[in-house]
Structures are given as C-alpha cells and as structure tokens.
Structure 1
Amino acid sequence: MVTRAAPSDQRSRNARRSVAARGDGGRLREEILDAAIALVEELDDPWRLSLRAVAREVGVAATSIYLHFDSLESLLQAVKSRLWSRFGDEMVEADEQAGPNPFDRIVGFGRAYVRFAAEQPGAFRTLFATTWNLELPHGDSFVGESQFELIVDALAEVSSDREDAVRRATQLWCGLHGMVVLRTPLSRFP
C-alpha cells in the first residue's frame, strides 16, 4: 500500500524550506511536484488543489512555484503525467513478473490495475476522473496508450489479428475500469 511520503529532509509540515544552492532548482521542482501529488491524492477533486497549499507543503513562497510551473494547470499536467508514469511502471512490472504466457500476463495486468486503484485511490481518480489536456508522449495518439498497448500485445498472441486484439483489450480495460469504479466506497455493488 502506498502511503504519503514525508518530505525528503524530514522537516515538519508548513516549515520554511532552506534556500536552495545555485543550480539546485531541479530539486525544488521535484519537491513541488511531490507535494502536489501528495495533496492531489488526498483531495476528492484534484481541481481543488491550490498553489498556496503546495507552497505551504514545500515551505516556500507561492511565487517560487512560478519559477518551475507557469500556472496551476501546468503543475496539474505534470502531476498527471507523473501518475501515468507510475501507473505504467506498475503495468510493466506486472508484465515482467507474469512471464510469457498470455493468460498469466492478462491476469497480472488486471490485478495490477485493480491494486493500483485500491491502494492509490487519489491517483486513480486523478488519472481517470479529470480532464486535463496532457501533452502526449511522442508517437502516442491518446493518454495511456503505452499501457493499453501492453494489453494489446498480450492479447495478440491469442487473437486472430491485431484488430481483434485491440477490440479484446478495449473490452478488458472497460470491464476492469467499470469494476473498479463500481466497487468504490460510494457504491454498494457486490
């Protein structure tokens, strides 16, 4: 289960951060992004995130965030991109652990998908219940395509052709997603 990580230097929440050394702005950018992810994961609606809340969490002035992100929207896009990457890493890990058998790979993907949603509900909600216009990775035609293609590749081994594999992968993804959404605490779906 993923829990909220403490700030890297173990400072208390709302404490002022020490001034970064020259050339150490990348560290601050990562701290801002980590704080925004932690806060978004706690919120019912990621759009309730504010730059001031992120600044408080990191221990900097809100204006410091603008050195790394030109708006709340650009920060939220970075958050969602990082979460897609985290989700993708879990799907790849499931694929690697499953071995070559297509059935085992599909079961592994399904378990990874459901586990991600259960253990990281804020991240899952941010990925699938918000509409931020993300820049697509080079060559992708939709957000999450690389994760989807892992499933298509596994199903291609037991499908008549690529079109059939895409259709099966779509049905599987929709079924998994529907099951996860229906089994949220707000639902009484069995």
Structure 2
Amino acid sequence: MTTRADIEDMIARVALRDRAAFSALYDATSSKLFGVCLRVLKHRGDAEEVLQEVYVRIWHKADLYAVTGHSPMTWLITVARNLAIDKLRKRRAHDGADDDMTLIASDEPGPERLAIARSEGAAIAACMGELDPDRADAVKRAYLDGDSYKDLADRYAVPLNTIRTWLRRSLIALRECLGR
C-alpha cells in the first residue's frame, strides 16, 4: 500500500525529473485520478484524454506542490478535477450533450473499498449537512457537476462574487469539519 509519505516523495522526485518516480506515481494514483475524471466527464474517452493531460501537468508542475500538511492526493485530485471540468465545459460549449453510447459501467469495488467509501462518504455527508442547503447544493454543482460560477450566480440570483465567497467559505467549513 502506498502511503502519503510515499506519494509526497514521488512528487518531490518528479519535480527533479525522475522518470522512475513519475512511473511509480502513475502506478500508485492513476486509477483514483481516472475515477475522478470519469465521474466528472461520464465519458471514457474524454476521461482517458484528460488523465493524460493530468500527468503532463503533474510532470511540469510537480515543483509547485509543497508539503504543507495537506494530503498530496488532494493536490493530485484537484489537478484532475479542474482539468476534467475544463474539458466538460468545452464539450458543453461545442455540443451541449453527452453521447450515451460511450458511457461505461463502473467496476464493482471490493468490500474494503466499499467500507472505506461508506466511511468517507458518511463523514462528507455529515459535514455537507452542516452547511446551509443552498451552499451545499452550490458546492455539489461546482465541484461534482462542473457548473461555472456564472451558472451558479444565475441559479441562485446572486452576484458572481457572492458565489465565490459562498464556495470559499463552504470549502473552509468542510475542511474544518472533516479535520475534527
């Protein structure tokens, strides 16, 4: 099992252009990051394309990761999620629809993964429950569905900067809650 320290070490070595560390980082994290891309894009081909972009970005930007006490997987997932959302927005701008013929069924996780997912999911759900319902919905729409700030501002009939403030404060509250 790859530990947090192992991933931090791999990222540090990737920043020094260590190809073996890059390969090891890919092996250790690609399935998780592919899952993130697939969840946002719901299209296997697009998710594979974005995953490649993710690792190109990691190769070029690994020196920007700083060990700050936050999980290195959080940084990697953020890179993947942001690139996937960018791809989703471009796809929506071009065609506005998903091609249902290319969607894939997810693999069935094992009992251990299910238990971990339930535990993490319960913690996240509990923390989301502490947020105002509009704020929780905005967080879900922004970070899981890929809605833009403008989409959210229009939906809730508030200024764009208000949405930014909602999301920033909500993420801070979630981080504090999950840290308890």
Please report the TM-score for the alignment, with normalisation by the length of structure 2. 0.30
**Rg comparison, structure with higher value:** 1
